[in-house]
Amino acid sequence: MNIKLVKEDIESALIRQLERISGEDVKKCYQCGNCSAGCPVAYAMDVPPAQMIRFLQLGRGGEAFGAGSMWLCVGCLQCYSRCPKNVSAASLFEALRQMRLRSGGGHEEVREIPLPFLKGAPQQALVCGFRKLVG
C-alpha cells in the first residue's frame, strides 16, 4: 500500500466528525495493539481495531469505511476495558456504523435473515442487531 500523507486528510472534517460522534480522540492512541490482541472478532476483520485507528490517525477515512470490520464489532468492550489510554475502539466502530447508517447505507437486509432464527432467537438479539446493522 502506498499512502500519500497530506495535512488536509489528517485534519479532515470526516475524521473530526468521527471523533465527535464517537467521543474519542484518535491522537490519544499510541498503537500498542492491545485492542487488536483482545478483540474476539479481530481474526475475522480485514482491518483490526488498532490498524483502523491508525488509518484514522493518518486521515484515511476511506480505508476505515471501506473495511468490513465495523459490522463485526459487537461492542463487547474488551478493547476499551484493557486500553491503557482509555480509548474505545468499539465507539469508533460504532461511529463508523452510525455515519454509514445515517447516510442511508445499511449492512443487512431484513428479508435476508433466516426465518428460523427470527422465530427462535431472543428478542434482544434482533433489537440489538437491527439497531447496529440495519439502516
- C-alpha distances (whole Å) from 78 to each of 3, 75, 112 are 30, 8, 30
Q: Which CA distances in Å does 63 have to 14, 52, 58?
A: 12, 8, 10
Conformation bin of residue 86: beta by default, left when phi > 0, alpha when psi is -120 to 50: left
Q: Please tell me whether residue 29 binds another protein under the rule CB under 8 A.
A: no
**Per rule CB under 8 A, is residue 95 in the interface with another protein?**
yes
Q: Which is nearer to another protein, 60 or 132 (CB)?
A: 132
- Residues in the interface with another protein (CB under 8 A) total 59
- Helix then strand count (H, E) for the chain reads 9, 0
CB nearer another protein, residue 104 or residue 114? 114
Contact between residue 23 and residue 35 where contact means Cβ atoms under 8 Å apart: no
- Site membership for another protein, residue 50 (CB under 8 A): yes
Nearer to another protein, 57 or 98 (CB): 98
Q: Which residues bind another protein (CB under 8 A)?
A: 20-23, 30-34, 36-44, 48, 50-51, 71-72, 74-78, 80-86, 88, 90-91, 93-95, 98, 107-108, 113, 117, 120-129, 131-133
